[in-house]
A and B are shown apart, each in its own frame.
Chain A
Amino acid sequence: MQTIEKLIASASVFDGLEREQLEVIAGCGRNEHAESGAFLLREGEPAARFFLIRRGTVGLEVQAPGRTLTIETLHPGDPVGWSWLFAPYRWQLDARALEPCELIGFDGVCLRGKCEADHDLGYRLMRRFAENLVDRLQATRLQLLDVYGHA
Chain B
Amino acid sequence: MLETGVGHSPLGRGPMVPEPFEVTSRRQDTADTWTLELERTSGDPLDFAPGQFTMLSAGGGGEVPISISGDPDRPERLVHTVRAVGLATEAICAADCGRVLGARGPFGVPWPVEQAEGADVVIAAGGIGLAPLRPAILRMLARRERYGRLVLLYGGRAPDQLLYADELGAWGERGLEVLVTVDSAGPEWLGHVGVVTRLVSRAGLAGGDTFAMTCGPEVMMRFTVAALREAGIDADRVFVSMERNMQCAIGHCGHCQLGPTLVCRDGPVYRWSELAPWLAIREL
A67 CA to B184 CA, complexed, in Å: 12
Using Cβ atoms and an 8 Å threshold, which residues of chain B touch A72?
Answer: 193-194
A22 CA to B86 CA, complexed, in Å: 58
A42 CB to nearest chain B CB (Å) = 15
Closest A residue to B83 by beta carbon equals A151
Any chain B CB within 8 A of the CB of A86? no
Stretch from A46-54, A105-113, A142-150 contacting the other chain: A142-150
Using Cβ atoms and an 8 Å threshold, which residues of chain A touch B174?
Answer: none
A75 CB to nearest chain B CB (Å) = 7
B91 CB to nearest chain A CB (Å) = 15
A68 CA to B193 CA, complexed, in Å: 13
Using Cβ atoms and an 8 Å threshold, which residues of chain B touch A68?
Answer: 186-187
In the complex the two chains form, is A69's CB within 8 Å of B184's CB?
yes
Closest A residue to B127 by beta carbon equals A148
Any chain A CB within 8 A of the CB of B220? yes
Any chain A CB within 8 A of the CB of B99? no
Using Cβ atoms and an 8 Å threshold, which residues of chain B touch A148?
Answer: 126-128, 155-157, 161, 183, 216-217, 220
Using Cβ atoms and an 8 Å threshold, which residues of chain B touch A98?
Answer: 190
Stretch from B43-51, B195-203, B259-267, B270-278 contacting the other chain: B195-203
Using Cβ atoms and an 8 Å threshold, which residues of chain A touch B223?
Answer: 138, 142
In the complex the two chains form, is A70's CB within 8 Å of B156's CB?
no
Any chain A CB within 8 A of the CB of B170? no
Any chain A CB within 8 A of the CB of B219? yes
Any chain A CB within 8 A of the CB of B144? no
Any chain A CB within 8 A of the CB of B242? no
A-B contact pairs, 26 of them (CB 8 A): A57-B190, A59-B187, A61-B187, A67-B186, A69-B185, A70-B187, A71-B184, A73-B191, A73-B193, A73-B194, A75-B192, A75-B202, A98-B190, A139-B197, A142-B219, A142-B220, A142-B223, A143-B183, A143-B194, A147-B220, A148-B126, A148-B127, A148-B128, A148-B156, A148-B217, A151-B86
| Residues of chain A having any CB pair with chain B under 8 Å | 57, 59-61, 67-73, 75, 98-99, 138-139, 142-143, 145-151
